[in-house]
Structure 1
């Protein structure tokens, strides 16, 4: 067995060329779709992040049991079952909810795992005295009213360390996946789960991609729409 399981957090069907989307170019997905099977129907189990992962690990609906939470000690876990059967299971992810209260006990079911830091409000960069005045000029109050939303302040701090494309967690996840495939190209009996938080708000992307879809907007940063119930 040699399998690669890839997850993207918030893919929108209407944005994918293989499903008729034309607003943005998705050449890699389109090329993959030509060599794969695309599904016209998909029935959602449990959402959002960790409930969906519990569905995939256990094969049963998390929301029939409870809301957001960890794997339970009595849960059967797909990667753990593979591991017990002699398959090396490896997780590469920048999905920081795995490592906070309520999301724990998922990554430990894999034999090995890698965590890429920096997405959203991942408590990554420690900046005791952030440049508040500069942040106030850079980020729009419409999306970054940080006095009442400290998680958005942490995101601003994280972005100080994300400068070039290779720094972004998404590309870093793929770089680690390519390294895994290179390191294990001659091996058998492995399962790689590559899991990307993007595309997900905040919609922070390398500048070269933003330049392809100019809007004429020249104001402060607007890339994290507010949502609630």
Structure 2
């Protein structure tokens, strides 16, 4: 049995599943969803980018933050943003020693920053350069000054626009191959399959940073959703709610939707390649995402740690098994990113690694019994009960915030300063999670706070032992352009 895993960044669940946002053109994902089992209550456990990948690759929760690793040079302020702990075996390492040819192809530049070690276990790995503020290309600002003017309202602020500057300098190089680096990820994945598919079992892991900002698809894709546009295109959209016109805000959404449609075409090419090579019959395909993004749901574009709502925290997870088990079915149990690892080993029949006691407690659990049960297969009662246990809620951590979510309530709190921000949303009465009803339900707040305290093994306010030092992690581009300003 082979395995192909696709991970997309910043991809909203409701776009892929046409729930609420129904008009985005993703025919290849639609086809994959029909052939797969899908999970309607998949939520992030530790967000954003790097903690998610670590949990996917090791099967161990990233949150609560607990590692005092050296993070100097990572230039981001996110908690849990560090390497894979040495005692945690990765999926690639395990499959490699079981005879699998393992390959990682990605443009997620965060995985290759100083002190990172996400190349562990990959027989082949390829870093596609140029995404966002990947410090790759350089050049005189005059090379991109005219283009910057299309994406910025008002004068150029070198420090505030450092990421955009770096991206546009990078684009001068990567666009000679494909319009977006994510396209190159899939192109190289297709080429890898063509060269390696018949050389024993394989794991191909494709990581595409899109549809993360900047939202910059080939414009025909955005025109599908917002045609005949004239105005500023805020491809870095965070300031748009304050300064953009209504039409420009619609264009921002169209740019995001356009990136998704662009990626869907590449997903279709990859799936067609797997079929043409005759590998659908012996390859499990998994498709997932790390988090979503806000599209003015609560007045913003982009993500932030305090907004632990479904548009940010709900994940896509599709599992296509070559036998067709569960195809077209939906599993409603709460699942999280660290469940992918044990599920994969279960499907492939590979033993789980030995864990430390602490990691065993925080380890994910296989959802393969849930998939089989959803397909109508007879699963031993004890096995099914174990797989279903404690799947009636999900805990998500992001920065200094945490969410405890179940079918009825979403409790969000700054776990370091609960007196500053504690919120409760009644999901049944308020599915958009717009009205904080914490003051009206103190008993519910108390119960969910107690559940979080049990999870963290300490009362709130909590203090976690990670040691991220923002002053040691400044973006080199911002440091440089601050000096130039």
Q: Give yes or no for TM over 0.5.
A: yes
Of residues 83, 90, 111 in structure 2, which corresponds to 1:77? 90
CA RMSD of aligned residues (A): 2.4
Q: Does 1:34 align with 2:34?
A: yes
> Bigger radius of gyration, 1 or 2?
2
CA separation of 1:220 and 1:159: change in aligned 2, threshold 3 A: farther
Paired residues for 1:30-109 under 5 Å: 30-64=30-64, 65-66=66-67, 67-101=80-114, 104-109=116-121
The equivalent residue for 2:292 is: none
Please report the TM-score for the alignment, with normalisation by the length of structure 1: 0.88
Q: Which runs of 5+ in 1 are unaligned?
A: none
Q: Note closer, same or farther for the CA distance 1:6–1:142 as it changes in structure 2 (3 Å cut).
A: farther
Aligned to 1:138: 150
Contact 2:95–2:102 under 8 Å retained in 1? yes
Structure 1 pair 140/63, CA: closer, same or farther in 2 (3 Å)?
Answer: same
Decide which moves more: 219-228 or 191-200.
219-228
Q: Is the 8 A contact 1:116 1:172 kept in 2?
A: yes
Q: Where does the alignment leave 5 or more consecutive residues of structure 2 unmatched?
A: 68-79, 239-301, 306-485
Aligned-partner Cα distance in 2 for 1:95–1:145? 26
Deviations 1:59-117 (A, max 9, x none): 11112224111112222212111112221110011111111135x10123311101111
Tell me how far apart the structure 2 counterparts of residues 6 and 156 of structure 1 sit (CA, whole Å): 26
Q: Which has the higher strand share?
A: 2
The alignment partner of 2:30 has SS state of: helix
In 2, Cα distance between equivalents of 1:180 and 1:127: 32
Evaluate the alpha carbon distance shift between residue 49 and residue 177 of structure 1 in structure 2; reply closer, same or farther with a 3 A threshold: same
Residue of structure 2 equivalent to 1:183 = 195
Residues 1:4 and 1:143: Cα distance change in structure 2 (over 3 Å): farther
TM-score, structure 2 normalization: 0.44
SS at match of 1:38: strand
Give yes or no for contact 1:146–1:152 (8 Å, CA) kept in 2: no
- State which drifts further: 218-227 or 52-61: 218-227
Offset of residue 215 of structure 1: 5.1
Q: Point out the more displaced range, 197-206 or 182-191.
A: 182-191
Residue equivalent to 2:478: none
Superposed, 1:125-164 pairs within 5 Å as 125-131=137-143, 133-141=145-153, 145-163=157-175
Distance of aligned partners of 1:224 and 1:142 in 2 relative to their CA distance in 1, 3 Å threshold:
farther
